[in-house]
Amino acid sequence: MRSDADSCTATRTGAHAGMDPNELHAKAIIAAALISSHAIGVPSLPSAATRASGKDEAAIRLRELTDYVYHAIFGSST
């Protein structure tokens, strides 16, 4: 039997498709901490047009900061 987390991971596409569940969990916590500390604005839910264009600047900035903090803590695996 698969858990909800396994189902979510299995249906993902793109950059997060091969992400380890522990890495995904750590990055979600880091992103939540960045948002709750007001270090970054809260990205809005993207519309289809925004997703297609890839120009949601708040989401891009959040992803960049999350990756930066993650790699500063755990080191780069690449």
Q: Which two tokens stand for residue 69?
A: 């903090």
5 in a domain, yes or no?
Answer: no
What's the pLDDT tens digit per position in 23-49? 999 999 999 998 888 887 777 776 666
Number of domains in the chain: 1
Is 11 inside a domain boundary? no
Q: How far apart are CA 34 and CA 65, in angstroms?
A: 8
pLDDT at 77: 58
pLDDT of residue 55: 73
Based on its alpha-carbon atoms, the radius of gyration of the chain, rounded to whole angstroms, reads: 14
Neighbours of 29 (CB within 10 A): 13
In a domain, 30, yes or no: yes
Q: Considering the domain boundaries, does residue 35 fall inside one?
A: yes
3-7, 45-49, 64-68: range with highest mean pLDDT: 64-68
Are residues 20 and 26 in contact, defined by beta-carbon separation less than 8 angstroms? no
Does residue 13 fall inside a structural domain? Answer: no
Distance CA 48, CA 43 (A): 15
Per the structure, the complete domain to which residue 55 belongs is given by 20-74
The pTM of the full predicted model, rounded to 2 decimals, is: 0.60
